[in-house]
Structure 1
């Protein structure tokens, strides 16, 4: 089976490629390899003979207008090229709670989801909670006057390796024609896990529990960062992930 991974050189993309390349013809496609979903450059060539496309591309900007333009243009170009090439299954990774978090980037991801749902071919949407790998970036984004402000809401982060494993399994399976939610094996307090992570990394910054704290600028209510219903859980605990980072 020929599988094209759009964004195959990124954090999750590299791992999906590694998981699939032993048993399938796997192509890692990105602007660095001459494939640009925004301009359409290289799409016809890379999709020739492909049965599955996994789209892990991401907008270079989180601003709503920019991100919406990226996902609308990129996804439209990709789906049209896939139809011409006879691709049978289109897979994307989206975000748990995207419709509830008041942020422009989340609304842009909903635009992407809606385009995929309208595809004439098979499709699958994997909605993930936040990656453990982004804990440092979350802390940095929440800092004001040297203090990290975190809301006391539930948070169920997942290791990117678990995301890659599940996405790889979905890619070679029957199209879901629906949405699967995935999350880490354990739920934390958002403030609790960030405080723990910084302390374990020798970061002296205070983490202050703040109900008014935002998430990359978006206000939060409890339940928005955890699955909304039944979810497939990852296997890698926070402790195991930390150990792997050390290695």
Structure 2
């Protein structure tokens, strides 16, 4: 099956592409490096022609509601419009657990995206996932010895496990709101960041920061945890840390 992957060069997208190939599908990457601009729709018609399914994992890194809503609305709107014209039969979209409960800027963008998918006339599946194991790393990559890390309670999940679940939906009937996916352990983001620092042998002081008001309370109090039945990714955070550990230098 020919499957388009919006954001196929990103963190989750790379795993999705690899899983599609392993399952015998033909991935078609929708990204600027492939001549596609999701924000304008340039290049979409040619790349989507002949595709049966679209997996949308396109992303923007922002905490601002205006930026997030604009990005997810424009990219999803363009994708749905062209997918309809080219005969795509199923649109699978990655979203976030708690996006409908926490009034944070980025999550408001994901809400707008989900609404467009739900209200569209193409068969659809939305898979909500918890934060990935990789979530703290961009914040740890600055050169400052002190890193501010938000107080967040989550069940972090491996991006690879999320990609596998997305690809599973390719050969299934459209599910609407699919069972959420989360990791096997409940962890705080500050603890995760400190453990990443230790595993990599880096020197960073991680300082907890609570966002003000209802948003901070929801993030630290369980608003980002799955409710009811959900699928559990098998990989643990310890598995992830083992892959990050730097080998000890050997001298002669």
Fold shared by both chains (TM-score > 0.5): yes
> In the alignment, which residue of structure 2 is the partner of 1:4?
4
Distance 1:17 1:246, change over 3 A: same
C-alpha distance after superposition, 1:68-111 (max 9, x if no partner): 11111111111111111111110111111112222121111100
C-alpha distance after superposition, 1:222-245 (max 9, x if no partner): 112211221111111111111223
What displacement does 1:136 show? 2.4
Paired residues of 1:182 and 1:231 also in contact (CA < 8 A): yes
Paired residues of 1:97 and 1:228 also in contact (CA < 8 A): no
What displacement does 1:117 show? 0.6
> In the alignment, which residue of structure 2 is the partner of 1:124?
125
Alignment partners' CA distance in 2, 1:2 and 1:189: 39
Question: Which of 211, 216, 219 is the equivalent residue of 1:214?
Answer: 211
Paired residues of 2:6 and 2:55 also in contact (CA < 8 A): yes
* Structure 2 gaps, min length 5: 247-252
C-alpha distance after superposition, 1:131-150 (max 9, x if no partner): 11122235679xx9936455
Alignment partners' CA distance in 2, 1:139 and 1:9: 22
Paired residues of 1:194 and 1:207 also in contact (CA < 8 A): yes
Alignment partners' CA distance in 2, 1:164 and 1:101: 24
Alignment partners' CA distance in 1, 2:9 and 2:206: 33
TM-score, structure 1 as length reference: 0.87
Alignment partners' CA distance in 2, 1:146 and 1:173: 46
Paired residues of 2:199 and 2:241 also in contact (CA < 8 A): no
5 Å-filtered alignment, 1:94-243, equals 94-138=95-139, 146=146, 148=148, 150-151=150-151, 154-208=153-207, 213-214=210-211, 218-221=215-218, 222-243=221-242
Moved more, 17-26 or 3-12: 17-26
* Structure 1 gaps, min length 5: none
Paired residues of 1:148 and 1:205 also in contact (CA < 8 A): no
Paired residues of 2:7 and 2:58 also in contact (CA < 8 A): yes
Paired residues of 1:15 and 1:161 also in contact (CA < 8 A): yes
Alignment partners' CA distance in 2, 1:162 and 1:9: 17
3-state DSSP class of the match of 1:165?
helix
What displacement does 1:196 show? 2.7
What displacement does 1:192 show? 3.0
